[in-house]
Amino acid sequence: MLMSKHFQKFCFGSPAKAASPSSLTSAARVPAEASVKQPATAEDVQGGATGTAQAETAGVYGEQGRKKRQRKVAPPPVRLKPDTEGLPEQLGDKALRLIIVGSNPSDHAWATGCYYSNPANWMWRVLQRTKIAPPSNRGAQDDWLMPEEVGVGFLDVGIGHPGTEQASFSIREIQSWVPDFYRRLTGHMQRACESSGCGCGMCGAPCIVAFAGKRQYLDMSNIGRKGKAKLTRLNVGRQKLRPPGWPFPLSTEVSRHEYSTLAQLLQFCLLS
């Protein structure tokens, strides 16, 4: 596998300076005692976006817990961001190296207020093990620090639409989320441009947008397509096609992966 220019930049570029919490506008402060348990091994993990139904029930920890997977029920999620409702965008105000895009908040992420908070989810272990997350990172409860600290942001296409069962949302429903999703991306790009003292409106675009999950990018790409023009599948990996209305310039790389592949790709890039 060849590493793209942007991924090289992403992997070996110097991270931004540590955040000062007061400088963040899109995130709530998190109590110091808050913690999210992380699963012990990769084998515990399945699923896409911010968690699947399988992941929701597989909240078991460690060697002993894994053996009891069938019977043990995960503890109810605890709200880690008491000052917010639902799952807010975590993009900050500076240009980002990477935006990780899920489909919509899982019930677990919605309840905690933190991206990929389900203990059975890959994301935070991969971000920590690859050192994409800084050493101080405690996991999902520190998602709000990632844009400033390391230039990595989080957003879902269906922000504001919780639900772990992705199949319960129709294509039309998912497509109806897209204008708000684009508004948020455009808003961030403009803020990032202004924060560098520029006024062009475009230079705040991220290096990479990585879609975690199979479905949402296909549904977005099918907006306005009818009959035989409808796409039935897209390859995973780097995307040449951009959905209609896509807000970023072509210099922003777009990749799309099944959830586990995205995690492996991020890990691969850091180890190479």
Q: Which residues bind Zn ion (CB under 5 A)?
A: 193, 198, 200, 203
Tell me, rounded to whole angstroms, the distance of Cα 11 from its chain centroid. Answer: 17
- Among 178, 20, 44, 35, CA closest to 114: 35
Cα 201 to Cα 189: distance, rounded to the nearest angstrom:
7
Least separation in angstroms between residue 193's CB and Zn ion is 4
d(CA 256, CA 127): 17
The span from the CA of 101 to the CA of 248, in Å, is 14
104 or 252: whose CB is closer to Zn ion? Answer: 252
Nearer to Zn ion among residue 42 and residue 198 (C-beta): 198
Least CB distance to Zn ion at residue 202 (A): 6
Please state the separation of Cα 245 from the chain's center in Å. 21
Q: How far apart are CA 150 and CA 147, in angstroms?
A: 6
- Smaller CB separation from Zn ion, 102 or 204: 204
Q: What is the DSSP pairing of strand 152-156 with strand 237-238?
A: unpaired
Select 99 or 114, whichever has its Cβ closest to Zn ion.
99
Q: What's the min distance (Å) between Cβ of 192 and Zn ion?
A: 8
CB of 204 to Zn ion, least distance (A): 6
Q: Which are the contacts of 142, defined by CB distance < 8 A and separation ≥ 6?
A: 30, 133, 136
Nearer to Zn ion, 198 or 241 (CB): 198
CB of 23 to Zn ion, least distance (A): 20
